Structure 1
Amino acid sequence: MEPRDLSRLVSDLGLDLPPEELTPAFYHASYANEKGLESNERLEFLGDAVLDLTVAEILFRRFPERDEGELTKLRSVLVSRPTLAEIARELGLERYLLLSPGAEELGVRERPSVLAAALEAVVGVIFLHKGYEFTRGLVERLYGKRIAEAASRRPEDYKSLLQELGQRRFGELPRYRLLEAEGPEHEKVFTVEASLGGESAIGRGRNLKEAEQAAAKRLYLALEGISD
């Protein structure tokens, strides 16, 4: 597989870069290993950090009435794997991914994690060549109405937020364990432990779902360093 012409993508992103400068952002590890090249993983690492910062600044300036906890939850939704993969598909990044034949056969090209990583790598390249201010403006344009939509929902589903955090930071999903269910049937109290990334928290509720949400909230806030 040979690199595709990236001229259209460069134009769509409003860049004044030679198209080939973006090519390393699409070197999947499977392709890079076969060709003796550096994969896009370092660029992905950089782009992930740049997205965290730019989205945080955009939210900070746009929503002065929101406290730290609300802004953190919004950022988690906006930089989550599903959101990044959605933006990557809108840009058509899957067309430019360079994969080994084996990875192609396994359907790696359409995996949300791979698409999200490609977007992060592209952001990393743009940051290196164009600097922070340009990149922040581009990120704001790429997100478009998603920022306002996410803010209007005021998400409180901590199980979803914890899952997104786990995938993004640890590459794993949270685990829930029922510790206890006590009391009479009509007043039973459930105690659940949530664990992720070597940390755990306990929550209680009148049903299993409520207890899991309580445990997820405590663990999520602890991992993000927010006081409950």
Structure 2
Amino acid sequence: MPVVLSLNIASKTIPVDYARAGVTAIDKRPVDGPLDVRPPVEKGGAGSGIAGDVIGDWTAHGGEYQAVYGYAREDLDWWQAELGVDLRNGQFGENVTTQGIDHTNALVGELWRVGTALLEVSGPRIPCRTFASFLGQRGWVKRFTQVNRPGAYFRVIEAGQFAPGDEISVVQRPDHDVTVELMFRALTTEAELLPRLLEAGDSVPPQVIELVHKRNVVELDS
């Protein structure tokens, strides 16, 4: 049975010299919960979807299509063996560490009931310098990208609550084949896949749709 293994938040930002914003909130730590989960409302909807969780770089994180970040414990365990280091829940900056459910092959637009909240899969996490510096791994952005285990971002469709031990169920799967993994490859290493992302409709973040259209214009003009 898929479950929430850990619910992780950062209650404050930490000043660092490696983050573009000068601060980071990537260091998420497990909490007992339950916590309220709702569409972000801070600063015009740019905040976290998890009550009490803070955002370090408002231009790159949070907001409607990145309200909640989830990562599978199974993928953390894979990385733990690969890197030879212990990785606690929340180590990748995820709000929700899950067990028993696949993020990589989830479909964009797939609906997950987590506790009493309803979440919609909206795409992958793209690695950045802050992520690499926080983990202390040289070449991390390239390595993370090559492995294709990005975890999934979610929109909050119905507000609710969840806590460690809550069940996760997939309540609806859309009629297309745009997975989190496919979107990740399209946005990182295989730009030729970008047009396929439009098959996921309104579940695709607006900035991604804009990128697809911009690429099409460039190709038509070239």
More strand as a share of residues: 2
TM-score interval for Structure 1 and Structure 2 normalised by the shorter chain: under 0.3
The two structures have a TM-score, normalised by structure 1, of 0.24
The two structures have a TM-score, normalised by structure 2, of 0.24
Q: Larger relative CO (CA 8 A, sep 6+): 1 or 2?
A: 2
More helix as a share of residues: 1
Larger Rg: 1
